[in-house]
Chain A
Amino acid sequence: MTKVGINLGEKRIGARPAGFWRDLMSVAGRALRAVPREPEALVPALIVPIFFFAVNVGSLSDISSFAGVEDFEAFQLPVAIVFAVTGISRASALVTDIQSGYFDRLLVSPVSRYSLLLGLMVADLVLVIALCLPVLALGFILGVGFATGPLGVFAFLLLSGLWGLAFTGFPYAIALRTGNPAAVNSSFILFFPFAFLTTAFLPQEALTGWLATVADYNPVTYLLAGLRALISSGWVLADLLPAIGAVALVGLVSFYLAFSALRARVRSS
């Protein structure tokens, strides 16, 4: 039997508060390390937007001019980006942590409670921006150019990433409230009204009836308008400010739900 030997001669190592930012980076680092280890979650997120982009452009570009769209590749690129970033989160991993008891292990440590969620969101932001890159590359290959130049590309990525981040609050809220993987998976259904009941395939002025009404209230309509402006029109504040506002509004709602759920989860009741 081997005797375990703790060196008693040196100064004793003891716990101390790590601080919010170190906690945040620790949680985010762990989440990012896990991403490439779960290709089953990553690969569909990579393929779906590229698939839709290729199919939509291939099948609809010839008839898009009837709806007043001159450059359908440029029109569709923001849609593919929205497909790439909407609903991407570590919520399923969070549920696994809750079910396995690892979340409790984190809770009995002095880690900042908010960093447990914000750290995951930081990782999500990095991931969704990374997911945008291949879609963007495909857009460039198909000849899409940015009227706003390289800075516009950066703004495009940032706005897309922030949208992805804003949306993460919904699956996290469900994960923290239910601790149920099926419920988290079903949160994907939120993606459909946001992504399709909007100007995904036709410009706003070409929509009619109930779809036009719903699209008027869908924040993704304004996000797409902002992203399209960066590609085709330049720094048009009339398009960009509503886009930023739409992201902020969705972010406010979803973060409120997520952090309320976090408080309920960590409240030792």
Chain B
Amino acid sequence: MDARGTSAGGAAIRAEGLVRRFGENAAVDGVDLCVEPGEIYGFLGPNGAGKTTTVRMLVTLLSPTSGRATVAGRDVVTEPHEVRLRIGVALQEAALDAQQTGAEILRLQGRLYGLTAGETKRRLSELGELIDLGDALDRRVRGYSGGMRRRLDLAAALVHNPDVLFLDEPTTGLDPVSRQKVWEEVRRLNDELGVTIFLTTQYLEEADRLADRVGIIDAGRIAAEGTPEDLKRSVGQDLVVASTRGEANGAVERLRGLEAVEKVDVRGEELTIATPDGPRVVGKVAVALEESGVTVERLTLRTPTLDDVFLEVTGNRLNDGGDDSEEDGR
């Protein structure tokens, strides 16, 4: 892969001790990041964790209170103009002018990035299938659906062929087909063109499927970082999850004493048992729960998800933060 997004072999995105305070509140509280050229980095966290504030600092919209960051080898504070020439940004809300047509917005983007009319036309042609708006491209944006706006927003971020692409929750509000399409395009931009992609999301599946590495941010700090596989493996090879009726604390010691059980977590009426060999342990878990007098409503054997990782490192499930918006077509 011919990776773009940096100068002279450095990191595409580097942040060192990045802090952003709003009054007494530290929205971002000492974030260190290193995203390699050509990487898709998933920045995962619930609402209010500091994802968007971090992105706004990296794209030069917000100055850090302290710390330092470079994007495409340029300092976001001292060389913001150089950074802006090298990045594409699709912010959380599809930011479009409703009075213009889709084509006018894209042509304006091209002009602002110094593209000639011919170059912009070529890029529009290249991006045509991603935009997938057909004749609607010549209609005003105010009549667009949420999905159409999102696709146009993404295209606007790509008109000038950026080295580093920032996508702040790019599939929020998209239907499953459009979401799939954006995922494919993100993957393809990365695979074929080597575009470095910094992707914030609160959707576990999105981070899992797209990101080469994932950083989990919670309360303004990076709580864990690694490849999705490594992160999930850190929780355990397999998880046995028991939903119980009533408190299950009484079974914990007995479960911990079982062979091949690495960890037991209790969260309300749910027990999570981490083990390297789920099929062998699940039966023993059922027996131990029975012997402890715990009434089991459901016993599940599954592999860990990023949500389990999130629970492990923050003590909360990411889905608790309202991830149901994923399905509500907002």
Interface positions of A (Cβ within 8 A of B): 1-8, 10, 12-19, 22-23, 26, 29-30, 33-34, 37-38, 93, 96-97, 100-102, 104-111, 267-269
What are 26 residue pairs bridging A and B, where the CB atoms are less than 8 Å apart in the complex?
A: A3-B129, A3-B184, A4-B184, A5-B126, A13-B115, A15-B86, A15-B115, A17-B85, A18-B112, A22-B114, A26-B111, A33-B100, A93-B99, A100-B95, A100-B98, A102-B97, A107-B60, A108-B59, A108-B61, A108-B89, A110-B81, A110-B85, A110-B112, A110-B113, A267-B63, A268-B60
Segment among B6-14, B156-164, B248-256 that sits at the interface with chain A: B156-164
A74 to B320, CA, bound (A): 72
Known: A15-B86, A110-B84. A101 touches B114 (CB 8 A): no
A163 to B185, CA, bound (A): 51
Q: Are B62 and A268 in contact (CB under 8 A)?
A: yes
Known: A15-B115, A105-B89, A110-B85. A100 touches B97 (CB 8 A): yes
**Which residues of A lie under 8 Å from residue B61 when comparing CB positions?**
104, 107-108, 268
Set A13, A23, A106: member contacting B119, Cβ < 8 A = A13
**Which residues of B lie under 8 Å from residue A100 when comparing CB positions?**
93, 95-98
**Which residues of A lie under 8 Å from residue B95 when comparing CB positions?**
100-102, 104-105
B303 interface hit (Cβ, 8 Å): no
**Which residues of A lie under 8 Å from residue B129 when comparing CB positions?**
2-5
**Which residues of A lie under 8 Å from residue B63 when comparing CB positions?**
267-269
- Interface members, chain B 132-156 (any A CB < 8 Å): 132, 140, 156
Known: A4-B127, A33-B100. A106 touches B112 (CB 8 A): yes
Closest 9 CB pairs of A and B: A101-B95, A16-B114, A15-B160, A15-B113, A18-B114, A268-B63, A105-B95, A4-B129, A26-B111
Q: Are A13 and B89 in contact (CB under 8 A)?
A: no
In the complex, the number of residue pairs spanning A and B with C-beta atoms less than 8 Å apart equals 127
A97 to B61, CA, bound (A): 15
Q: Are A15 and B161 in contact (CB under 8 A)?
A: yes
Q: Are B123 and A13 in contact (CB under 8 A)?
A: yes
Set B100, B104, B112, B161: member contacting A13, Cβ < 8 A = B161
Q: Are A15 and B60 in contact (CB under 8 A)?
A: no
A100 to B144, CA, bound (A): 15
**Which residues of A lie under 8 Å from residue B115 when comparing CB positions?**
13, 15
Known: A30-B108, A33-B104, A105-B91. A13 touches B160 (CB 8 A): yes
Q: Are A104 and B113 in contact (CB under 8 A)?
A: no
What is the CB-to-nearest-CB distance from B46 to chain A, in angstroms, rounded to a whole number? 21
Known: A1-B180, A15-B113, A18-B113. 15 other contacts (CB 8 A): A4-B129, A4-B184, A7-B122, A15-B162, A17-B114, A26-B108, A33-B99, A33-B100, A96-B98, A101-B91, A101-B93, A102-B97, A107-B60, A110-B84, A110-B113
What is the CB-to-nearest-CB distance from A220 to chain B, in angstroms, rounded to a whole number? 32
B87 interface hit (Cβ, 8 Å): yes
Q: Are B184 and A1 in contact (CB under 8 A)?
A: yes
**Chain A residue with Cβ nearest B101:** A33
Contact with A along B176-188 (1 / 0, CB 8 A): 0000110011001
**Chain A residue with Cβ nearest B118:** A13
**Which residues of A lie under 8 Å from residue B161 when comparing CB positions?**
12-15
Q: Are A6 and B126 in contact (CB under 8 A)?
A: yes
Set A6, A7, A33, A108: member contacting B87, Cβ < 8 A = A108
**Chain B residue with Cβ nearest A38:** B99
